[in-house]
A and B are shown apart, each in its own frame.
Chain A
């Protein structure tokens, strides 16, 4: 039983970081109706920013985290300006956006390989190795911190979306961009904010993953998990993305714990295919709308 709870808590911890990535995905999707495959590039650079701030700059962890968050937000905004904005102005088909996103993703990965190199880099030790002990449960400090940082970030995002006027405009724009513009909403501005928010969260996720594993140019591949989580929960639905991400994290760690960690990704992708076949709109997705 202890093992089960141990795995459950690890799963929630990993899942909460998937959630950080998945909401960024979902936010962009809800407004622009395409899957931003360059999100992984932002996560990767966020991880490197955190690494250099800690390992080279010798900055304290909170400062490194803030730098990586702001840097990634800025990167996502610049990416939107360069890779998507020109397409938007021309009313290009969604496929063009996806191709542009893939191009940006490959570009960023190779840029890092060329400038920083293809090697794995290990984050300096930020948290002590000894776990917190609660009864017979041993909780890794890093896992607990990952969960806390993710939960705080997601709560902040939820507050912005649900309680502020800008959040209301984001939801309105997601539902109907033209109607929102008719209300006087500067939809360019909303898209700018959405990429900033998604990018910031991606940066946080990048640092957390960098600390948990290592940093390397292909770390952005982990966004495939976020994509699965977002589809699982229902693309375009933020609460769905969070729920899908946590479930995915738990399913993965339980699989790894009880069967084999090599089966982990197999299970995750089998899950994706299963959902697409059985319930294409996801757990909380909108059924009646064609937003593919």
Chain B
């Protein structure tokens, strides 16, 4: 579904992504793990044309992605950005409606809105509230709900567990599995490597802008090198 080949990004003098190849098949959860500054967010932003790529191609459903940010969502991709970037000055409901900005099918939008409220009952309770008054966890839910409202085929999740309490982190990962069941494909970028690999089908390890390892998530999670570097387990 998503095919990334030899992707390179330069920020001024910094070579942030160095020839990254990634494949995401329909219906999968693909997790990209890596430490701070490895280039994870840059990768998602390069897919969405938020940052310019200096070399390489990104194909989605065999089509090259357009270079304007606002055209990406038309292709069926939605990004749930790092830091959530919800619209604090709009109500919860209006935030969700912004997710459906390009859609015209009112009946289907209403159905999807109800689905999102079903997935996140807290958002229903707070639908008339200003989004800025939500807690961090609720804001993450809102950002994910908003990402679903464009009815995308592929969702890019950027560090959804960042800054959340451990219990909430579990909830968020359960919800990601539920989103998968809604026939969505998910590309997840996470520092919480254990959680990210435990729900994923395929995993990639990104280090200093390069993919150093890829494989089935169930195998990566057992890999001793990964266990030591990312999962906090010591070599026996």
Binding site for B on A (CB under 8 A): 165, 168-169, 171-172, 174-176, 178-187
Contacts and interface: CB of A to CB of B under 8 A. Distances in A.
A175 B88 contact: yes
B73 A183 contact: yes
A178 B87 CA distance: 11
A71 B97 CA distance: 34
A182 B69 contact: yes
27 contacts: A165-B97, A168-B90, A168-B94, A168-B97, A168-B98, A171-B90, A172-B90, A172-B98, A174-B89, A175-B90, A176-B87, A179-B81, A179-B86, A181-B69, A182-B48, A182-B69, A182-B73, A182-B78, A183-B70, A183-B99, A183-B102, A184-B70, A184-B73, A184-B102, A184-B150, A185-B101, A186-B70
Contacts of A180: 87, 98
A272 to B, nearest CB: 25
A179 B88 CA distance: 12
Contacts of B85: 176, 178-179, 182
B44 to A, nearest CB: 11
A161 B88 CA distance: 16
For the side of the interface on B, what is the size category? 20 to 34
B98 A169 contact: yes
B150 A183 contact: yes
B146 interface: yes
Contacts of A176: 85, 87
Interface in B143-175: 146, 150
Interface in B23-54: 48, 50
Contacts, number: 64
B89 to A, nearest CB: 5
Contacts of B89: 171, 174-175
Nearest to B156: A182
Nearest to A178: B50
Given A182-B70, A183-B102, A183-B150, 4 more contacts: A168-B90, A168-B97, A181-B70, A185-B98
A278 B99 CA distance: 39
Interface in B82-110: 85-90, 94, 97-99, 101-102
B136 to A, nearest CB: 15
B87 A169 contact: no
B87 A185 contact: no
B151 to A, nearest CB: 12
A182 B146 CA distance: 11
B146 A184 contact: no
B106 to A, nearest CB: 11
Nearest to B80: A182
Contacts of B98: 168-169, 172, 180, 183, 185
B87 A171 contact: yes
What are the 3 closest A-B residue pairs judged by CB atoms, nearest first? Answer: A179-B85, A184-B73, A184-B102
B74 interface: yes
B79 interface: yes
A201 to B, nearest CB: 21
Nearest to A176: B85
A19 B92 CA distance: 30
Nearest to A174: B89
B77 to A, nearest CB: 10
B101 A165 contact: yes
Contact of B81 (A171, A172, A182, A185): A182
Given A168-B97, A176-B85, A179-B85, A185 B70 contact: yes
Q: Which of A171, A175, A176, A186 has the most CB of B within 10 A?
A: A175
Contacts of A178: 50, 69, 81, 85
A183 B69 CA distance: 9
Contacts of B74: 184
A179 B73 CA distance: 12
A182 B44 CA distance: 12
A181 B79 CA distance: 11
Contacts of A184: 70-74, 101-102, 150
A21 to B, nearest CB: 23
Nearest to B146: A183
B61 to A, nearest CB: 17
A19 B71 CA distance: 36
A151 B74 CA distance: 39
A171 B97 CA distance: 13
